[in-house]
């Protein structure tokens, strides 16, 4: 084995986030934690994209603990880590892949969020675990999206169902599920178009795909996975609201947590929506997508990964 470990990648991936949070908190704990200082801490946490609710809770906890003089910066960060962990622990849920045969997973998200790459990563990981995986190029809106998924499918060695650009996505999903059933596939992952600028069209298209799949298997799709690009910050949070409304999201994957200072948005998304977060992406390689340990990620974000608990 060569290359950095997952932990090293995780540390690298959240470095900017962590640096930003630590930078925002720098020097704030040197004096007494009076109201003005607590306000500053709360603002620093919000500036780090953690979301207002988490920031307010951390403020309240610091105030509650009757922290008198000289609360060290490190002490504050340990509290921050604990609170982040609590938020993440509620949503960090592995993807369950034994719901049905074939299990149908609809993958949604705006163009560029990392949808295709995430489908490829998931397909590769689950194939490695011994599942028979098939992908369907349901983003018929763009020829490039179809081509990109095809390239990935060939590289990973999983079957793909794809049609022509501009084809009917629901028809394609139907054909894919029929084939998946006939070929004894365990998991069918269906890509979709993510045209958020036209909410009505997107809603109609996703509803049609669901309807068509449901005709073959009333339980399908078993999962509706939303892929979010962490670098878009607040915009990613808005996307959750829209996709929840149009598609009944069952879980999320957050990508591009590497090289962005916006990793706090993972916490804000968890806090605000409480939807399961199945995996996070910290790079472009297959191995860069995984489920996560809330304690580990919280400590990395808060910049206390090197310190023991307690």
Instruction: Compare residues 102 and 283 and give the one whose CB is closer to ligand GTP.
Output: 283
Instruction: Centre a 10 Å sphere on the Cβ of residue 56 and count the other Cβ atoms it contains.
Output: 13
Among 28-36, 88-96, 108-116, 169-177, the segment contacting ligand GTP (CB under 6 A): 108-116
Residue 254: enclosing H or E segment and its boundaries?
A: strand 251-255
* 3 state SS of 277: strand
| Residue whose tokens read 């929506």 | 273
The count of residues interacting with ligand GTP (CB under 6 A) is 20
Q: Report which of 1, 18, 21 is spatially closest to residue 282, judged by C-alpha positions.
A: 18
Instruction: Compare residues 97 and 148 and give the one whose CB is closer to ligand GTP.
Output: 148
Q: Binding to ligand GTP by residue 263, rule CB under 6 A?
A: no
The rounded distance, in Å, linking the Cα atoms of 134 and 150 is: 11
Q: Binding to ligand GTP by residue 275, rule CB under 6 A?
A: no
CB 211 within 8 A of CB 237: no
Q: Which of 185, 255, 279, 298 binds ligand GTP (CB under 6 A)?
A: 255
Instruction: Compare residues 248 and 259 and give the one whose CB is closer to ligand GTP.
Output: 259
The backbone torsions φ and ψ at residue 185, rounded to the nearest 5 degrees and listed phi first, read -75, 140
How many helices (H) and strands (E) the chain has is answered by 12, 8
Q: Binding to ligand GTP by residue 140, rule CB under 6 A?
A: no
Q: Which of 102, 283, 294, 303 binds ligand GTP (CB under 6 A)?
A: 283
Instruction: Compare residues 44 and 152 and give the one whose CB is closer to ligand GTP.
Output: 152
Q: Which of 258, 268, 277, 302 binds ligand GTP (CB under 6 A)?
A: 258
Query: Binding residue per annotation — 244?
Result: no
Q: Which of 12, 112, 163, 167 binds ligand GTP (CB under 6 A)?
A: 112
What's the closest the beta carbon of residue 258 comes to ligand GTP, in angstroms? 5
Query: Binding residue per annotation — 110?
Result: yes
The backbone torsions φ and ψ at residue 99, rounded to the nearest 5 degrees and listed phi first, read -75, -40
The CA-to-CA distance between both ends of the chain, in Å, stands at 34
Q: Binding to ligand GTP by residue 111, rule CB under 6 A?
A: yes
Instruction: Compare residues 59 and 152 and give the one whose CB is closer to ligand GTP.
Output: 152
Q: Binding to ligand GTP by residue 284, rule CB under 6 A?
A: yes
Q: Binding to ligand GTP by residue 115, rule CB under 6 A?
A: yes
Q: Report which of 107, 60, 61, 46 is spatially closest to residue 272, judged by C-alpha positions.
A: 46
CB 268 within 8 A of CB 54: yes
Query: Binding residue per annotation — 112?
Result: yes
What string of DSSP letters covers 154-194? HHHT--EE---TT--HHHHHHHHHHHHHHTT-SEEEEE---
Binding residues among 230-249 for ligand GTP as defined by CB under 6 A: none
Residues 6+ apart with CB under 8 A from 198: none
Q: Binding to ligand GTP by residue 138, rule CB under 6 A?
A: no
Q: Which of 148, 192, 239, 250 binds ligand GTP (CB under 6 A)?
A: 148
Residues 6+ apart with CB under 8 A from 114: 227, 229, 253, 255, 256, 281
Chain contacts with ligand GTP (rule: CB under 6 A): 109, 111-117, 139, 145, 148, 255-256, 258-259, 281-284, 288
Annotated binding-site residue numbers: 109-116, 191-195, 255-258
Annotated binding-site residue numbers for GTP: 109-116, 191-195, 255-258
């Amino acid at each position: 084995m060569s290359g950095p470990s997952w932990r090293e990648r995780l540390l690298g991936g959240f470095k900017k986030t962590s640096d930003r949070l630590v930078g925002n908190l720098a020097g704030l704990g040197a004096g007494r934690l009076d109201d003005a200082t607590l306000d500053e801490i709360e603002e620093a946490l919000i500036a780090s994209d953690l979301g207002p609710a988490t920031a307010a809770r951390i403020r309240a906890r610091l105030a509650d603990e009757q922290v008198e003089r000289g609360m060290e910066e490190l002490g504050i960060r340990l509290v921050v880590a604990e609170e982040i962990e609590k938020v993440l622990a509620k949503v960090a849920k592995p993807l369950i892949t034994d719901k049905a045969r074939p299990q149908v997973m609809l993958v949604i998200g705006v163009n560029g969020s990392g949808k295709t790459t995430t489908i490829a990563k998931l397909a590769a990981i689950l194939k490695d675990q011994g599942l028979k995986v098939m992908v369907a190029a349901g983003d018929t809106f763009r020829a490039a999206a179809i081509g990109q998924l095809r390239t990935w499918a060939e590289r990973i060695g999983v079957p793909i169902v794809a049609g022509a650009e501009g084809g009917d996505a629901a028809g394609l999903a139907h054909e894919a599920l029929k084939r998946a059933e006939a070929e004894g596939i365990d998991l069918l992952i269906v890509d979709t178009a993510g045209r958020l600028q036209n909410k009505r069209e997107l809603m109609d298209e996703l509803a049609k795909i669901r309807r068509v799949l449901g005709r073959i298997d009333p339980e399908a799709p078993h999962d509706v996975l939303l892929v979010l690009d962490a670098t878009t910050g607040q915009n990613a949070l808005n996307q959750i609201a829209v996709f929840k409304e149009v598609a009944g999201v069952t879980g999320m994957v957050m990508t591009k947590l590497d090289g962005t200072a916006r990793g706090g948005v993972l916490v804000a998304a968890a806090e605000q929506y409480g939807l399961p977060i199945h995996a996070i992406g910290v790079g472009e390689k297959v191995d860069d997508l995984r489920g996560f340990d809330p304690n580990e990620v919280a400590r990395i974000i808060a910049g206390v990964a090197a310190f023991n608990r307690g």
